[in-house]
Structure 1
Amino acid sequence: MNLPIGHSLFVAWAVVVAVCDCRNRRVSNTLVVAGLAAAFACAGLARGPFGISVTQAALGAVVGLCALLPFFALGVMGAADVKVFAVLGAWCGMHALLGLWVAASLAAGLHAVWLLLATRTRLAAIGRPGAPTFQLGPKRSTPYAACLTVPAIAWIGLHAFAVGVK
């Protein structure tokens, strides 16, 4: 099955975001801007994987940004995670964001439990100076941007099969 260009661009962008976040726990602004530009170009040319308009892409980006911005302000989420969610809003539309957020949060929760078990960190020790940190080797925290993009890749796969992409 050959994927149309919009589908291929989306999957390629999402995979690169996931790999960068898992390897380095950071996503470059260049990658974020490239994803946003591609999302709007595909929407403008009616080649987007989810068939949304430029207006829907803009609304999705704004809602995605505003939805996670409070978590960044509270210091519990990185700026790249917020920006990636905004780009996902541009690609997928506002209607997809809640489902992606729930799936990503469940995946992040499982990752956090795995980190606790792998590092044998006790919940009571978290937050105390000198206590074990919430990290595994040099990697700290959960790669939330990857947790956001992986369900989006799965969703595009389901969407492609549902509409019969040829």
Structure 2
Amino acid sequence: MNVSVGGFLFIAWAAMVAISDCRARRIPNSIVVAGLAAAFGCAFLQCRPFGVSPTQAAIGALVGLVALLPFFALGLMGAADVKVFAALGAWCGMHALLGLWMAASFAAGVHALWLLITTRTRLAGFVRHQGPTFELAGRSSTPYAACLTVAASAWLVLQGLAGGLR
């Protein structure tokens, strides 16, 4: 399997996002900006792990930002999740965003179900209230940005494995 510098940068960035989201349920803007800068740098220097051109990176970032903004505006998602999705758009391109969103949403749903079963956390139902629907130790329980970056990392690894099999 041929792993590029861009691939290593992406995996390192994705790991920082996932670790920060899982540990603190927040992702510093510096990590998001570093991811965007690395994505555009890789696109311009042609060491892009997902084969995205600079134009595709810009369109992907814009679509990623706009696609999840309504969920943030409705209070269903954190701002960091939206910004990470925009950064993933720059890394992966617009064409990958729907699949990443679906895979991450499935993983988040499985995580939430597992959490309900194992911690016996009550689901708030249809009652609108302040704060997250699920809480564990005072934190929202599903680190969605981590789900997004793990899905994208798995896609990168699968692409590399498929390329190595040819």
Please, what TM-score do these two structures have when normalized by structure 1?
A: 0.90
Aligned residue type for 1:4: S
Partner of 1:152: 152
Gaps of 5+ in 2: none
Are 1:143 and 2:143 matched, yes or no?
Answer: yes
Residue 51 of structure 1 deviates from its aligned partner by 1.1
Instruction: Encode CA deviations 1:59-108: one digit per residue, 9 max, x unaligned.
Output: 00000001100000000100000000000000000010000000000011
Instruction: Encode CA deviations 1:20-46: one digit per residue, 9 max, x unaligned.
Output: 100000001000000000000000011
2:18, 2:123 → 1: CA distance? 28
2:71, 2:17 → 1: CA distance? 20
Residue 52 of structure 1 deviates from its aligned partner by 1.1
1:154, 1:122 → 2: CA distance? 31
Please, what TM-score do these two structures have when normalized by structure 2?
A: 0.90
- Look up the SS of the partner of 2:117 in the other structure: helix
Partner of 1:19: 19
1:135, 1:4 → 2: CA distance? 39
- Look up the SS of the partner of 2:87 in the other structure: helix
Aligned residue type for 2:89: G
Gaps of 5+ in 1: none
Q: Is the 8 A contact 1:118 1:136 kept in 2?
A: no
Residue 153 of structure 1 deviates from its aligned partner by 0.5
Alignment of structure 1 residues 56-135 onto 2, 5 Å: 56-123=56-123, 127=127, 134-135=134-135
Residue 134 of structure 1 deviates from its aligned partner by 2.2
Aligned residue type for 1:93: G
Residue identity (%): 69
Aligned residue type for 2:140: R
Evaluate the alpha carbon distance shift between residue 51 and residue 135 of structure 1 in structure 2; reply closer, same or farther with a 3 A threshold: same
2:38, 2:103 → 1: CA distance? 24
Aligned length: 162
Residue 10 of structure 1 deviates from its aligned partner by 0.4
